[in-house]
Amino acid sequence: MYFCFAHDISSMAKIIDRYEIQHADELKVLDLAEKTRNYLPHKELLEMVQSKLEEPVDNVSVDSLISLEEQLETALSVTRAKKTELMMEDVKSLQETERLLREENQYLASQMWKKTFLVTQGGRGISPENSSGNKVPETLPLLK
């Protein structure tokens, strides 16, 4: 009885851990979505950076530099998220290709094993399916 109770506590702890991880991931997604709403297209962002670089440093306010920094960080986050998404798609595609190649390899290995088995049996037409003890009819040497 005590073991079952300890097992239940362990299971509950695992469930809570998974929930906390999922909740943290959801918060990250919401934060990125919020940043994306305030995100300027790349062209506008580059134009803003260019205009700030052309201004004398004395004329640029701290607030505008902070705003520019936040927009650059948002653009970088969005770019990294897209890069990660594309890389994950590539990984999934490669995993599927690997799975298909493994299946094909297993099939070819079984075909090779069957052919090897036939050769070692003297080429008499005995296959693994027919080797249950029944003799396969052979053509007599006189009729060949």
Q: Are 49 and 68 in contact (CB under 8 A)?
A: yes
- pTM here is 0.43
3-state DSSP call for residue 71? helix
Percentage of residues in the chain having pLDDT higher than 90:
22
Is 59 within a domain? Answer: yes
CA dihedral angle for residue 54, residue 58, residue 63, residue 65, rounded to 10 degrees: 40
Is 7 within a domain? Answer: no
Is 56 within a domain? Answer: yes
Is 10 within a domain? Answer: no
Is 13 within a domain? Answer: no
Number of domains in the chain: 1
Is 92 within a domain? Answer: yes
User: Of 6-15, 62-71, 108-117, 124-133, where does the model show the most confidence?
Assistant: 108-117
Is 47 within a domain? Answer: yes
Give the domain extent around 43. Answer: 39-124
pLDDT at residue 35 tops 60: yes
Looking at residues 17-34, what average pLDDT do you find? 75
Is 6 within a domain? Answer: no
